[in-house]
């Protein structure tokens, strides 16, 4: 190929798995990035189903980015997709690649074009393509295209595992030059109690009675990343309980058996549809402008920290706020939530997991912003001890009026309201990692652990408690689940 330099002709063949020189190619093309042993092993895998479960700071996303980049560079007509439950997570490898690419004369001449909208796509001179986009509910956005390789990042956020089945169906066929596609599906994530994810890992574990030779699983602990200093690891350990260390650093599956909120009911209240609505509004594919009133902000490790939908003048809004000074995901982080309860299930339209940076003002600003946007009928705020001063500050300095709630007195009632709403599937929130994690691990004894994060759970409890003071919506027929298989029909009237 005329665009290849003499250096390309020497280096590119080395990156092919059969030649085993992945580290040489990444050192040359990716600004000196050299894989650790487990990162090298990940690229060299030849099985069609790869499951990589890892602790924090292992580097699975940057490793998959380097691995896919080498596949695209070395195999003509290679088609690769990086996807996830959320758009930001799906696009992280794109950010890594751009960091290697910009101003890199060893790499720039191998790229034909880079598109940013409606989702990032990198086109290479050898006709390979690499896409980065959210999968959506049941992979609704990933249909009609054949791929060589798909990396499904943070798959444990997929509640039922149906997306993986659709993605597998996209891995088939031959390339335009007649060669067979690679057909490799990587599911790379963190420990979870999602049964399908545990089962998939077991299939690739030679020690498991579910072992299937078509699968290969890797488990990597934080301690295996030798780029981390001992001091850095000790600082991580200091932030976690013993249970957290088992999950976050040692990559062991959590045991949430004693949770107050059963996982099946949490899953039923978690709506990927809401995420997809926001994604479509913010990433229109037909050239129309981005729709106003929608916001999604994501942290690369902790997931969605802000979700916002347009206000509906017909809505019946309830909001709740839990003040705090810290940053997510720590216990003393603040949060603000708004639900539209005009129908059941009540739908979350606003969630701000606030980074306080040591100040209450970011929380107060978010709380007042939500009031101005949604004009809620009920505004819950904890007025226990320190929070009582926050309510006074909110009222006097920010002009906010709230419906006070004394959590010392009302906490049990609020948690019971949340438990009833969740088991009745009367609440609906987006697929937000922090909510799912906190709800899954919350127990009656959680308050006894001074470092146990529960701000999102408590805010949900206040919202559920506040919704009980609204009149029942009527005029719309909905079906609500009851115990067993029986279903009762309730006629609801709109206000």
Residues 6+ apart with CB under 8 A from 175: 76, 77, 78, 79, 148, 181
Listed residue (158, 165, 188) closest to 82, CA to CA: 188
Distance of alpha carbon 352 from alpha carbon 348, whole angstroms: 11
- Tell me what pLDDT residue 354 has: 94
* Intervals of CATH 3.30.420.240 along the chain: 263-476
Q: Which CATH number fits domain 6-249: 3.40.50.300, 1.20.1260.10, 3.20.20.10, 3.40.50.1370?
A: 3.40.50.300
The pLDDT score that the predictor gives to residue 482 is: 33
Strands 295-299 and 111-115, by their bridges, are unpaired
Output the tens digit of pLDDT for each of the chain's 495 residues: 688 999 999 999 998 999 999 999 999 999 999 999 999 999 999 999 999 999 999 999 999 999 999 999 999 999 999 999 988 899 999 999 999 999 999 999 999 999 998 899 999 999 999 999 999 888 888 887 899 999 999 999 888 888 999 999 999 999 999 999 999 999 999 998 888 999 999 999 999 999 999 999 999 999 999 999 999 999 999 888 788 899 999 999 887 666 789 888 999 999 999 999 999 999 887 778 889 999 999 988 888 999 999 999 999 999 999 888 888 888 789 999 999 999 999 999 999 999 989 888 899 899 999 999 999 999 988 766 555 566 666 666 666 777 766 666 788 889 999 999 999 999 999 999 999 989 988 887 766 665 567 889 999 999 999 998 887 765 443 433 333 333 333 333 333
CA angle 232, 234, 240 (to 5 degrees): 115
* Beta carbons within 10 angstroms of residue 287's beta carbon: 7
Alpha-carbon 434 to chain mean position: 9
Tokens of 205: 């574990």
Report pLDDT digits (tens) over 219-242. Answer: 999 999 999 999 999 999 988 878
* Neighbouring residues of 173: CB distance < 8 A, sequence distance ≥ 6: 146, 181
| Segments of the chain assigned to CATH 3.40.50.300 | 6-249
User: pLDDT tens, 144-192?
Assistant: 789 999 999 999 988 888 899 999 999 999 999 999 999 999 999 999 8
Strand partners, 479: 489
Distances (CA, A) of 245 to 192, 249, 254, 489: 14, 5, 10, 46
For residues 185 and 152, is the Cβ–Cβ distance under 8 A? yes
Q: Report how far apart, in Å, the C-alpha atoms of 218 and of each of 9, 122, 258 are.
A: 33, 28, 28
For residue 410, what pLDDT is reported?
80
CA distance 197 to 442: 21
pLDDT tens, 310-323?
A: 999 999 999 999 88
Is it true that domain 263-476 has CATH number 3.40.50.720?
no
Nearest to 123 by CA among 171, 80, 167: 80
Predicted structure pTM score = 0.81
Rounded Cα distance between 162 and 267, Å, is 13
- Which H/E stretch holds residue 438? helix 433-441
CB atoms within 10 A of CB 372: 10
């Amino acid at each position: 190929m005329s665009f290849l330099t003499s250096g390309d002709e020497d280096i590119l063949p080395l990156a092919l798995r059969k030649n085993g020189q992945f580290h040489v190619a990444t050192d040359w093309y990716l600004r000196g990035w050299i894989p650790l042993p487990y990162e090298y092993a990940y690229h060299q895998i030849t099985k069609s189903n790869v499951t990589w479960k890892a602790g924090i700071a292992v580097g699975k996303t940057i490793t998959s980015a380097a691995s896919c980049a080498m596949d695209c560079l070395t195999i003509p007509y290679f088609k690769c997709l990086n996807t996830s439950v959320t758009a930001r997570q799906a696009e992280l490898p794109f950010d890594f690649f751009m960091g290697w690419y910009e101003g890199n004369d060893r790499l720039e001449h191998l790229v034909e074009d880079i598109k940013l909208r409606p989702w990032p796509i990198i086109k290479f001179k050898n006709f390979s393509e690499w896409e980065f986009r959210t999968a959506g509910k049941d992979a609704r956005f990933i249909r009609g295209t054949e791929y060589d390789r798909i990396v499904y990042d943070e798959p444990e956020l997929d509640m039922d595992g149906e997306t993986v089945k659709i993605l597998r169906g996209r891995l088939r066929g031959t390339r335009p030059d007649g060669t067979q596609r690679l057909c490799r599906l990587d599911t790379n994530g963190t420990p979870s109690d999602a049964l399908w994810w545990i089962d998939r890992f077991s299939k690739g574990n030679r020690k498991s009675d579910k072992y299937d030779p078509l699968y290969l699983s890797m488990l990597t602990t934080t301690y295996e990343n030798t780029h981390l200093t001992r001091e850095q690891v000790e600082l991580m350990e200091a932030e976690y309980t013993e249970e957290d260390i088992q999950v976050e650093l040692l990559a062991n599956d959590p045991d949430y058996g004693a949770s107050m909120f059963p996982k099946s009911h949490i899953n039923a209240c978690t709506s990927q549809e809401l995420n997809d609505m926001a994604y479509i509004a913010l990433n229109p594919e037909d050239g129309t402008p981005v729709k106003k009133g929608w916001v999604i902000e994501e942290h690369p490790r902790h997931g969605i920290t802000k979700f916002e939908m347009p206000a509906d003048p017909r809505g019946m809004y309830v909001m709740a706020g839990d003040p705090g000074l810290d940053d997510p995901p720590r216990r003393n982080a603040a949060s603000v939530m708004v639900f539209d309860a005009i129908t059941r299930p009540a739908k979350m339209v606003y969630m701000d997991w606030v980074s306080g940076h040591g100040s209450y003002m970011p929380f107060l600003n978010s709380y007042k912003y939500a009031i101005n946007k949604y004009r809620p009928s009920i505004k819950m705020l904890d007025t226990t001890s320190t929070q009582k001063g926050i309510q006074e500050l909110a009222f006097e300095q920010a002009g906010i009026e709230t419906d006070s709630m004394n959590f010392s007195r009302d906490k049990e009632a609020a948690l019971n309201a949340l438990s009833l709403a969740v088991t009745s599937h009367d609440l609906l929130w987006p697929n937000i990692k922090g909510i799912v994690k906190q709800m899954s691990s919350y127990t009656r004894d959680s308050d006894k652990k001074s470092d146990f994060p529960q701000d999102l759970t408590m805010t949900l409890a206040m919202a559920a408690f506040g919704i009980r003071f609204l009149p029942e919506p009527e005029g719309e027929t909905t079906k609500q689940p009851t115990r067993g298989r029986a279903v009762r029909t309730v006629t609801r009237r709109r206000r």
